[in-house]
């Protein structure tokens, strides 16, 4: 095991901070993110009132921006984590089946992968939400059920490779059935590359959620999401820069950290970069 570089330590620290902030939002947020105060509309960062300080200012309805950004982090991370889990599980299962049984099973699965990948993902998401109606649950379902082909491809290629190794043949000779071989022998040995894909998808899902919420197809008002905060902020960009800058910066930093973490994870998982 190699050590962790100082840069990577910073990235890990930031990621942990984001996750803690998201989980603890109800307790650490200074104000109720939904409480409006029309007298306090569009106040700049640092405005002090009796109840405390609007550290990041307020929005067009006088709600505390810091509290909304913290709760927005919760939405972003929850949507990304749940949708990645769904697509990871579903995509991996299909990839394992295609790689293990090959033949017509693989043809059927991999052709549907090709089909899915030829549809622009964001367009598909927009259309589905438009049909099903926007809600937190639908957002997760849409993202979860449209992003599985990437996992399937990786799981399929890895399974094909691992399936030829002698230890799989030994398991067959031991008398193990397909389910056991897939679960005990193949899955643990292809998990590394899948986690790398899942990490990069996690970053992408945060962006998708923000994008859909920006378009009004994601998290619905009054509940906060970075995308919807920025969407509102766009109208006031000249008068109240903080409405776009702070959620935008959070989005940028979080996705950057996730992607850098993904690169680091890939280097660790890649057998070519292991050992001498």
Partner 1 sequence: MTAPVLEVTDLAVHFPGRTGAPVRAVDGVSFAVAPGETLGLVGESGCGKSTVSNAVVGLVPPTRGSLRVMGTEMTGATRATKHDIRARVQMVFQDPVTSLNPRMSVGAAVGEPLLVRGLASGAALRARVSELLEEVGLRPEHAQRYPHQFSGGQRQRIVIARALALRPDLLVCDEPVSALDVSVRAQILNLLVELQQRRGMASLFVSHDLAVVRHVCDRVAVMYLGRLVELAPRDALFATPRHPYTRALLAAVPEPDPVAQRAKPRVPLAGEIPSPSNPPPGCTFHTRCPFATERCRQEVPAWRPLGESMVACHHAETLA
Query: Residue-wise over 58-70: b if at least 16 C-beta within 10 A, else e?
Result: bbbbbbbbbbbbb
Task: Compute the distance between CA of residue 193 and CA of residue 176 in angstroms, rounded to an integer.
Answer: 25
Distance between CA atoms of residues 163 and 192, nearest Å:
16
Q: Which is nearer to partner 1, 135 or 189 (CB)?
A: 189
Q: How far is the CB of 240 from partner 1 (least distance, A)?
A: 53
Largest CA distance in the chain: 76
Q: Which is nearer to partner 1, 2 or 137 (CB)?
A: 2
Write down the least CB distance from residue 177 to partner 1, Å. Answer: 7
What x-and-dash track marks residues 162-201 binding partner 1 by CB under 8 A? ---xxx-xxxxxxxxx--x---xx--xx------------
CB of 162 to partner 1, least distance (A): 9
Our CB check for partner 1 shows the closer of 100 and 242 to be 100
| CB closer to partner 1, 44 vs 188 | 188
Coil, strand or helix: which one is 25? helix
Q: Distance (Å, rounded) from C-alpha 35 to C-alpha 54?
A: 13
Least distance from partner 1 to the Cβ atom of residue 109, Å:
24
Rounded to the nearest whole angstrom, what is the least distance from the CB of residue 264 to partner 1 in the complex? 21
> How many residues sit close enough to partner 1 to count as binding (CB under 8 A)?
17
> Closer CB to partner 1, residue 35 or residue 184?
184
**Would you say 209 and 247 are in contact if contact means Cβ atoms under 8 Å apart?**
no
CB 185 to partner 1: min, Å: 5
Residues 98-137 that bind partner 1 (CB under 8 A): none
Could you tell me where the beta strands, DSSP code E, fall in 42-141?
47-49, 52-54
Q: What are the distances in angstroms from CA 143 to CA 86, 129, 204, 217?
A: 9, 10, 10, 12
Q: Which residues bind to partner 1, rule: CB under 8 A? A: 165-167, 169-177, 180, 184-185, 188-189
């Amino acid at each position: 095991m190699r050590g962790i570089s100082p840069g990577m330590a910073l990235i890990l620290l930031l990621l942990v901070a984001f996750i803690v902030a998201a989980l603890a939002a109800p307790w650490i947020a200074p104000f109720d993110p939904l409480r409006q105060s029309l007298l306090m509309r569009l106040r700049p960062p640092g405005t002090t009132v009796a109840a405390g300080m609007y550290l990041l200012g307020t929005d067009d309805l006088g709600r505390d921006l810091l509290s909304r950004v913290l709760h927005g982090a919760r939405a972003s991370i929850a949507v990304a984590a749940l949708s990645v889990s769904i697509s990871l599980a579903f995509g991996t299962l299909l990839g394992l089946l295609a790689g293990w049984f090959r033949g017509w099973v693989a043809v059927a699965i991999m052709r549907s992968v090709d089909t899915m990948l030829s549809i622009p993902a964001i367009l598909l998401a927009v259309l589905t939400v438009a049909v099903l109606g926007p809600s937190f649950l639908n957002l997760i379902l849409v993202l979860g059920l449209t992003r599985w082909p990437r996992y399937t491809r990786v799981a399929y290629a890895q399974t094909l490779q691992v399936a030829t190794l002698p230890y799989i043949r030994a398991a067959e000779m031991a008398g193990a059935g397909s389910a056991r071989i897939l679960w005990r022998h193949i899955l643990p040995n292809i998990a590394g590359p899948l986690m790398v894909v899942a990490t990069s998808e996690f970053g992408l899902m945060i962006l998708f959620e923000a994008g859909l919420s920006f378009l009004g197809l994601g998290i619905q008002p009054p509940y906060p999401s970075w995308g919807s905060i920025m969407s509102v902020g766009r109208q006031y960009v000249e008068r109240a820069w903080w409405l776009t800058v702070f959620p935008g910066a959070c989005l940028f930093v979080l996705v950057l950290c996730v992607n850098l973490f993904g690169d680091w994870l890939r280097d660790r998982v890649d057998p070519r970069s292991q050992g001498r």
